[in-house]
């Protein structure tokens, strides 16, 4: 008997799968594979919106397999809806996607950390000027070099070109297509001082153009300003959150044994994760009530099962901070961040600990890393702005509060802080 034969087999008869795919052939293939594995029940859906209704009506569904690209609501949005509901948050969720879709996600999430600045539509001329000044202040390029503006909307191209002319830029090339722009940029890299591109364009999107520019040695250091909409920013935020929430990706085309292997792995991981999460939540509840001994026992048990569980690590850090002082909590906060570098809570908690000790510079450096790593998180920008303000770096604080408001327009604390800083800056002698 081989070791594989000794491995306990998953009891698929206990599983109620929800399979979501707008492609009839793909849906039928997944259902056929699951039936051959002995799935207890299979519910079919042709789009994410219908899938939500099915989940709401049938609480026995305990595993979701969803395509990425679908009408009405795609698989990523469905994932976010599932994870945001307390009763369904821990259902195993597998995304079935094509290599093209998977690459698109990676490009979008990676590109947001490459771009030098974002400009959110609609914008005023002075906002564009501030963004360009900020970008060029960190580069050797200036108005003496050529600016290339890429946008498929002729009115938008004309408006940006007009603003640039008023700022003193003389060499401005406006292009309507990303592919044409990339060809021109590649052939004229030495004379380009700034690239301004819209996000949503046919043929080649602004994100794809950014990726291509940053991968080209001659263009990698040229400042790149992306013009986008709040809707596009929300798309990035959803993808960022989805990266941390999806349990498995399965790339098309796939075989039945590959689907089975993914399901079994996911179920085992979910079993352990569920136990760890429950122990952690119970421990945190005890901690809130001041029951330190049972909190310690539960958090230690959680970390014994999964030594890299970031929530349990932060919980143990909180416990030690209350019982032994914040310095004793630092190793746990650091390990939590190492375990999940995509968690904004990891950066915020460790930065708060540094601030409490008095290590403001270290807290600022950490949040700067967090902003680069995660990007579109208003809470990270707000916290970084607050620390800049505490250090007296008012222009830097102002910039971070503005970025927080761009990402989350209803961020009341950032607006209040921005107003105070603007009043203080206006009152300072020139």
Distance in angstroms between the alpha carbons of the first and the last residue of the chain: 83
Residue 174 phi/psi, 5° resolution? -100, 130
If you ran DSSP here, which 8-state letter would residue 378 be given?
H
Q: How far apart are CA 42 and CA 50, in angstroms?
A: 15
Q: Is residue 56 part of a domain?
A: yes
Greater confidence, 144 or 90?
Answer: 90
E-strand ranges in 21-62 read: 41-45
Of residues 274 and 367, more confidently modeled: 367
Query: Are 242 and 232 found together in one domain?
Result: no
Give whichever of 11-25, 63-77, 86-100, 256-270 has the largest mean pLDDT. 11-25
- Looking at the structure of the chain, the number of domains it has is 3
List pLDDT tens digits, range 183-207.
999 999 988 988 999 888 888 888 8
Residue 413 lies in a domain: yes
Q: Let me know whether 151 and 224 are in one domain.
A: yes
| pLDDT averaged over every residue in the chain | 84
Would you say residue 312 lies in a domain? no
Enter the tokens of residue 258: 């590959």
Q: What is the pTM of this model?
A: 0.57
Any domain includes 284: no
Q: Are residues 132 and 224 in the same domain?
A: yes
If you ran DSSP here, which 8-state letter would residue 149 be given?
Answer: E
Residue 316 lies inside a defined structural domain of this protein: no
Closest by CA to 200, choosing from 243, 236, 248, is 236
pLDDT in tens, 32-85: 999 998 999 999 999 888 999 999 999 999 899 998 878 778 887 888 788 878
Residue 17 contacts residue 274 (beta carbons within 8 Å): no
Asked, for residue 335, whether it belongs to a domain, the answer is: no
């Amino acid at each position: 008997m081989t070791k594989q034969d000794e491995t306990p087999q998953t009891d698929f008869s206990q599983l109620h799968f929800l399979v979501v795919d707008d492609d009839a052939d793909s849906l039928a293939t997944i259902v056929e594979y699951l039936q051959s594995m002995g799935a207890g029940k299979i519910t079919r859906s042709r789009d994410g919106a219908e899938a939500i209704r099915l989940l709401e009506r049938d609480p026995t569904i305990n595993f979701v397999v969803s395509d990425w690209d679908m009408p009405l609501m795609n698989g990523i949005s469905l994932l976010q809806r599932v994870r945001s509901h307390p009763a369904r948050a821990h259902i195993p969720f597998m995304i079935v996607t094509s290599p093209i879709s998977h690459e698109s996600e990676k490009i979008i999430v990676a590109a947001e950390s490459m771009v030098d600045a974002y400009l959110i539509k609609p914008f005023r001329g002075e906002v564009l000027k501030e963004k360009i000044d900020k970008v060029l202040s960190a580069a050797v390029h200036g108005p003496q070099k050529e600016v290339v503006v890429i946008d498929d909307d002729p009115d938008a191209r004309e408006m940006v070109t007009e603003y640039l002319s008023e700022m003193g830029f003389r060499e401005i090339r406006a292009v309507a297509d990303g592919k044409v722009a990339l060809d021109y940029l590649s052939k004229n890299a030495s004379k380009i001082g700034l690239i301004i591109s819209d996000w949503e364009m046919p043929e080649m999107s602004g994100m794809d153009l950014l990726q291509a520019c940053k991968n080209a040695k001659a263009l990698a250091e040229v400042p790149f300003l992306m013009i986008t909409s709040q809707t596009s920013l929300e798309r990035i935020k959803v993808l960022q959150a989805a990266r941390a929430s999806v349990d498995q990706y399965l790339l098309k085309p796939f075989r039945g044994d590959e689907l089975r292997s993914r399901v079994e792995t996911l179920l085992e991981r979910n079993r352990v994760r569920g136990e760890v999460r429950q122990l952690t939540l119970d421990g945190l509840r005890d901690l809130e009530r001041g029951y330190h001994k049972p909190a310690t026992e539960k958090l230690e048990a959680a970390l014994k099962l999964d030594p890299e569980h970031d929530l349990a690590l932060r919980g143990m850090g909180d416990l030690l901070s209350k019982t032994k002082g914040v310095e004793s909590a630092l190793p746990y906060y650091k390990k939590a961040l190492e375990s999940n570098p995509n968690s904004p809570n990891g950066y915020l908690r460790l930065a708060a600990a540094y601030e409490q000790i008095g290590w403001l510079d270290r807290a600022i450096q950490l949040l700067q890393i967090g902003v680069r790593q995660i990007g579109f998180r208003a809470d990270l920008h707000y916290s970084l702005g607050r620390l800049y303000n505490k250090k007296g770096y008012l222009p830097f604080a102002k910039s971070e509060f503005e970025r927080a408001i761009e990402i989350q327009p209803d961020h009341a604390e950032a607006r209040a802080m921005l107003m105070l800083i603007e009043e203080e800056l206006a009152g300072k002698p020139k």
